[in-house]
């Protein structure tokens, strides 16, 4: 455990797209951390010690205080267990695991070991999310809908894991919508779901879901991974005080068609700031609500086989 003001000695595991796009730039500007090691079978981070596995990294670098686990979700639990057993604080990329129960297991392990566990939900830190939450809390909701439609060929080229069982398919982006929805909308439960599986894949390419709130309001969610042209990452609401559109993945908020909130995004700098806070406070932050909805969709959903998908 670092002195309260000393930088947290951090190791990063699974050096791929999100590490290069977001983690390294965020860490480079954050004085709360010293990134001293990386573990990856192929990827490397310049200027620090690199290892082929988390076990090798932990053994050679006992001064590590914390690790960030950035591999695909199917492989996160083993790495997290290894890190917690070694007494390290753990930052989990989203989704925090491939199943709900394995993340519950990590929560219990972290509590027993006295280390911090952070299930990061980067979309919750999108610039307009808190403003949307405040607006919805100030009014009465009449209806809501979620549309998350993007082009998988553009955002996930050559990622095989994402199409495998446990890779989540279209729920990989869809869980970002759920991480926002569970933060700004009233509690809701899946009432109906149809998941479209390409005939040659083990994960869905689209999902058609209806949530129901405790008051009986239906909230449809459409996930689509074959959207070309403009991309939609939107949560829409009608309220007693007019319409709300939270768009661009939580970056923009419009009320009655007028943009009231739009700022440059800083999701990963905010995630790392929060992780430093919980490490220093000796607490954990593991909200499983978005993952539980995905699990429920797979449990309740009807499987619809659709045309094969090729990159
Ligand atoms: P990625 O580049 O395909 O994978 C990250 C790294 O994980 C790979 O470079 C690989 O490193 C390691 N890895 C891959 N397969 C593995 C396996 N079977 N066992 C152990 N390690 C393996 O994926 P990514 O886009 O960075 O996504 C990683 C995580 O971040 C996912 O959970 C994703 O949902 C989340 N995320 C991604 C984005 C995005 O825009 N891409 C945004 C936010 C969050 P080595 O081969 O070097 O071991």
Domain ranges of the chain: 8-119, 124-266+296-306
- pLDDT tens sequence across 37-58: 999 999 999 999 999 999 999 9
Residues 213-237 have a mean pLDDT of 97
Q: How far does the centroid of ligand 1 lie from the alpha carbon of residue 251, in Å? A: 24
Using 50, 70 and 90 to split pLDDT, how confident is the model at 3? low
Q: How far does the centroid of ligand 1 lie from the alpha carbon of residue 191, in Å? A: 32
Residue 145 has pLDDT above 60, yes or no: yes
Residues 112-127 have a mean pLDDT of 98
> Of ligand 1's atoms, which has the minimum distance to the CA of residue 168?
34
d(CA 169, CA 164): 8
165 within 8 A of 271, measured Cβ to Cβ = no
| Protein residue with least CA distance to atom 25, ligand 1 | 17
> Of ligand 1's atoms, which has the minimum distance to the CA of residue 71?
7
Catalytic residues: 94
Residue 241 has pLDDT above 70, yes or no: yes
- pLDDT tens sequence across 185-205: 999 999 999 999 999 999 999
- The superfamily (CATH) of domain 124-266+296-306 is Dihydrodipicolinate Reductase; domain 2 (3.30.360.10)
| Protein residue with least CA distance to atom 19, ligand 1 | 75
> What is the pLDDT at residue 5?
76
CATH 3.40.50.720 fits 8-119, yes or no: yes
Using 50, 70 and 90 to split pLDDT, how confident is the model at 293? very high
Q: How far does the centroid of ligand 1 lie from the alpha carbon of residue 122, in Å? A: 15
The order of strands in the sheet holding 242-247 is 258-262, 252-255, 242-247, 232-239, 141-149, 218-224, 206-213, 188-198, 302-306
């Amino acid at each position: 455990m670092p002195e309260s003001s000393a930088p947290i000695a951090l190791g990063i595991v699974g050096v791929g797209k999100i590490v290069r796009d977001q983690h390294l730039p965020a860490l480079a500007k954050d004085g709360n951390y010293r990134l001293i090691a990386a573990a990856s079978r192929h990827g490397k981070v310049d200027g620090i010690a690199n290892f082929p596995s988390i076990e090798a990294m932990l053994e050679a670098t006992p001064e590590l205080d914390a690790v960030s686990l950035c591999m695909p979700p199917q492989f996160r639990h083993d790495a997290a267990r290894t890190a917690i057993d070694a007494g390290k604080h753990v930052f989990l990329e989203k989704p925090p695991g491939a199943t709900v129960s394995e993340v519950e297991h990590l929560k219990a392990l972290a509590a027993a070991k006295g280390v911090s566990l952070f299930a990061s939900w980067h979309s919750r830190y999108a610039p307009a999310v808190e403003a949307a939450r405040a607006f919805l809390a100030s009014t009465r909701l009449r209806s809501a809908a979620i549309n998350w439609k993007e082009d998988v060929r553009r955002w996930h080229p050559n990622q095989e894991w994402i199409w495998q069982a446990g890779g989540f398919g279209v729920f990989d982006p869809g869980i970002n919508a759920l991480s926002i929805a569970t933060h700004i909308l009233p509690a809701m439960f899946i009432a109906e779901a149809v998941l479209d599986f390409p005939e040659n894949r083990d994960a869905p390419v689209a999902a058609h879901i209806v949530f129901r709130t405790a008051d009986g309001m239906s909230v449809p969610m459409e996930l689509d991974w074959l959207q070309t042209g403009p991309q939609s990452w939107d949560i829409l609401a009608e309220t007693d005080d007019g319409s709300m559109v939270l768009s661009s993945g939580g970056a923009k908020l419009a009320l009655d068609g007028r943009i009231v909130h739009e700022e440059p995004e800083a999701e990963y700098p905010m995630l790392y700031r929060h992780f430093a806070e919980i490490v220093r406070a000796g607490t954990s932050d593991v909200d499983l609500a978005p993952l539980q909805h995905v699990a429920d969709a797979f449990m309740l959903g009807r499987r619809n086989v659709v045309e094969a998908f090729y990159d």
